[in-house]
Structure 1
Amino acid sequence: MSMPRKAMQELGFQACCLRCDAPDESGVARCSPCIQHHRNIREVLASAPPDDPLYQLAKEIMAMAAEPHRYDHDEVHGRALIEQQRLAGALVGERVQPSADDIEALFEQQRAKRQQNALQDIANQNPWKDQPLPAEQAQEMAKKTWELEGEENEHYGARTVPSKPIQKVDRSERSGEDTTLTDRIHASAAAQAKSNLDETATEIFEELEFKERQSRREELKSAMKEVKELVDDDLEF
């Protein structure tokens, strides 16, 4: 058993390192051809047709191996994924529990650190943001604001009377929320959050996340349709 190499983690095949019998040392000669072999596998999966059931199964298994904690409830592969997590945990070692002094020091460090706010510190160029405006200047500014050439602005607060009739907007062609685009955006955000994956792996995980969201949405639509049919049946006399 070896510590997963960084390249294998980026490819999503760190499970192979956990089950490898090579010595856990840096610069092992066996690692380079192994990494290249798995990189070729990734390229084959990336260029495979998306509707091929065999390649789809391979992508799903790769996703499970890359993130076993998300799929260890699987009825078929759950035990293997739990074993993979156990092997990874054995390499980490025992974690040292922080003491009360360490926690207190961390809080003090966070209190002393001032976080810069882009809106308040950079964009806000108001000269009175740190201290209020003097009363005399505030009164003078109020007079200039509410008066127009020595007279009060009589149009302030008045209702706008349009010179032309406003036509009603036709909204019949508006479909509402684009659920496909929404799921695609959320899937892309979830894939981009995985910083340990390369570009190809990110695309694969994004596609899997998108299909999962679409599947859940279809299940919800089906359930809502059944509820609507039940309600409609109850209302019929």
Structure 2
Amino acid sequence: MSMPRKAMQELGFQACCLRCDAPDEAGTSRCSPCIQHHRSIREVIAAAPADDPLYQLAKELMAMAAEPHRYDHDEVHGASLLQQQRLAAALVDAPAKPDGLTVAQLFDQQRSSSKSNALRDVGNQNPWKDAPMEAKEAQEMAETTWAIEEQEVVHYGARTIPSQPIQRVDRSERIGEDTALTDRVHAAASQKSLDEDAAKIFEDIEFNQRQAERKALKSAMDDVKTLVDDDLEF
């Protein structure tokens, strides 16, 4: 078992390093040809047709190996993905347990630092924050603030009557939210840690998953609507 190399992590094949029997030493001669081989595999998968079932399976397996914590509930591959996470955790040193001195220093640091709060800072500028103003002053302030001039009273609250008919706006071309674009943006944003080619593969996988979930939700909502409509028929 070896610590995953950075290049293999970027390619999404760090699982191979975790199961490699080469010595865990920097500059091992086996690493370079292995990385090049997996880079070629990734390029072949990226260039494969999107509707090819074999390459689609390869993309899904690649996504699972790259992010095992997101797919360890899979009925077929879940056990292997959990084992991969255990192998990775074994290479990381456990964090040191905090002692009393460390905790006390943390509390002192938090106590000495002040957090900015814009709402509180503005509220503290209120001259009446400690004691309310007198009733007479409050009445005078209200009359000054909310007084309405005589010439405005005539039109105050009156309904606006247009001088000519207002045409109804045609909203037939307004499709509303572009769900496909939204799913594409979210899928792309979640792959920032990968390089361009690998990110494109995982982006397509997540986009298809989001679209499938939307279709399933729409189908369920249509079924509910049908049931409700049937119940309302007499």
Instruction: Give the TM-score normalised by structure 1.
Output: 0.75
Per-residue CA deviation, residues 209-230 of structure 1 (Å, 9 max, x unaligned), is 1111111111111111111111
Q: Give the structure 1 partner of residue 11 of structure 2.
A: 11
Per-residue CA deviation, residues 34-57 of structure 1 (Å, 9 max, x unaligned), is 111111111111111111111110
106 and 164 in structure 1: CA distance in 2 versus 1, 3 angstrom threshold: farther
Q: Give the structure 2 partner of residue 81 of structure 1.
A: 81
SS at match of 2:10: helix
Once the two structures are TM-superposed, the CA of residue 164 in structure 1 deviates from its matched residue by 6.9
Q: Does residue 231 of the first structure (1) align with residue 232 of the second (2)?
A: no
- Work out the CA distance in 1 between the residues paired with 2:60 and 2:31: 25
Q: Does residue 205 of the first structure (1) align with residue 205 of the second (2)?
A: no
Amino acid at match of 1:72: D
Once the two structures are TM-superposed, the CA of residue 231 in structure 1 deviates from its matched residue by 1.4
Give 5+ residue unaligned stretches, structure 2: 119-124, 127-148
Once the two structures are TM-superposed, the CA of residue 165 in structure 1 deviates from its matched residue by 5.8
Once the two structures are TM-superposed, the CA of residue 93 in structure 1 deviates from its matched residue by 2.8
- Work out the CA distance in 2 between the residues paired with 1:163 and 1:230: 47
SS at match of 1:64: helix
- Work out the CA distance in 2 between the residues paired with 1:10 and 1:113: 39
Q: Give the structure 2 partner of residue 31 of structure 1.
A: 31
Q: Does residue 219 of the first structure (1) align with residue 228 of the second (2)?
A: no
SS at match of 1:92: coil
Per-residue CA deviation, residues 65-105 of structure 1 (Å, 9 max, x unaligned), is 01111111111111111111111111113321223543453
Task: After superposing the two structures, state which structure 1 stretch, 41-50 or 85-94, moved more.
Answer: 85-94
- Work out the CA distance in 2 between the residues paired with 1:97 and 1:60: 39
- The within-5 A match list for 1:96-115 is 96-106=96-106, 108-109=108-109
- Work out the CA distance in 2 between the residues paired with 1:113 and 1:162: 59
SS at match of 1:170: coil
SS at match of 2:25: coil
Q: Give the structure 1 partner of residue 146 of structure 2.
A: none
Q: Give the structure 2 partner of residue 41 of structure 1.
A: 41
- Work out the CA distance in 1 between the residues paired with 2:79 and 2:38: 24
222 and 107 in structure 1: CA distance in 2 versus 1, 3 angstrom threshold: farther
Q: Does residue 172 of the first structure (1) align with residue 169 of the second (2)?
A: no
Instruction: Give the TM-score normalised by structure 2.
Output: 0.75
The aligned length equals: 208
Q: Does residue 93 of the first structure (1) align with residue 97 of the second (2)?
A: no
- Work out the CA distance in 1 between the residues paired with 2:112 and 2:166: 57
108 and 170 in structure 1: CA distance in 2 versus 1, 3 angstrom threshold: farther
Amino acid at match of 1:37: H
Task: After superposing the two structures, state which structure 1 stretch, 88-97 or 202-211, moved more.
Answer: 88-97
- Work out the CA distance in 2 between the residues paired with 1:177 and 1:21: 51
- Work out the CA distance in 1 between the residues paired with 2:39 and 2:89: 25
